[in-house]
Chains A and B, each alone.
Chain A
Amino acid sequence: MIDEQVLDGLHPMDKLLRADRIPHIWCPGCGIGTVVYSFLSALIKSGLDLDKVAVVSGIGCTGRAAGYINLDSFHTTHGRALPFATGLKLGNPELKVVVFSGDGDLISIGGNHFIHAARRNMDIAVICVNNFTYGMTGGQLGPTTPIRAKTTTSPYGNTEHPFNLPYLAAASGAVYVARWTSLDARRTERAIGEALAKKGFSFVEVIAPCPTLYGNMNKMKTGLDQMRFYEENSVIRHGAEPKDVDITLNGQIIVGKFVDIEKPTYLDLRDNIGSIV
């Protein structure tokens, strides 16, 4: 295996990537590529049959991920990654369905789908790359933008309360909730591995830098500035109450595994419909 690598001079992840499309379109310093690496690496380590893994993405910067991953990958309409994934799972319960999308796609446009997929406890692993803004459309204010953060549509600072994604997921019924930053590549990999192994709706939020838009408006002009901010301000607190893990503009980012519980999934309940008392 080592010799093969030496001979072709390819990146070891190229076998799971559509390598002809790399370099990808993400900006220099964008953290989504790191999350894709962590995901692919976790997928290889999980030992799942790769023919039975489907990756579903919505629209947006992170929505491009499905186009770069060389598995059964689907690029769906805006916000509809989760309903598509639900249908996929119902149609073929053998599949391991992973939704890989951004905060704008999953939480704002697809917000209702998100809470209902979590409520039903569909057996889906959701990886949400949170960059606090709508990147592809030009850096507008999103539902995760922290209070006082500047964006192109809030040039004097945001005045809306943002969503606390782990709290939203946990309250809606997710059985696994974790948050990491893209700097914690190895911990992200482990969390995604756990989410893939978990039966039920598992949710991993990964905070990623967006130097071109969000960072640029908020005094962090390069991806490295944002990574340094994560390095200095992220605090690992496993098992923290999800309601206490709000993100503020310059405050601490609490990361870790917040929820890991067992609960019958939608398919379990459907298949045992006669035996439920």
Chain B
Amino acid sequence: MPWITACSTDDIETEDLMRFDHAGRSFAIYRSPDDEFFCTDGHCTHERVHLADGLVMDYVVECPKHNGQFDYRTGEAVRAPVCVNLATFQTRVEDGQVQIFIP
């Protein structure tokens, strides 16, 4: 059962993110301006800084340390100092719960 319940939809404000740790891994779960949910790896690909303290602007998340930026919908690295894309994971909402698919 790779779908894991991560949080309630109310746990994340619109245009924000939260940290979710599971089975020794850390993820970042986002709520977009359109109230869609997305999930990526929790740590920046530049250095091991968690994105949970970063700022979400539209569909971009900023690393709180160096402002490396990712499009959290695709994981694409869009601003140096990040050069490596972020892993993304499927999400779905079931009964007000955000679930992520961890292969």
A pairs with B = no
Which residues from chain B sit less than 8 Å from chain A, CB to CB?
Answer: none
Which residues from chain A sit less than 8 Å from chain B, CB to CB?
Answer: none
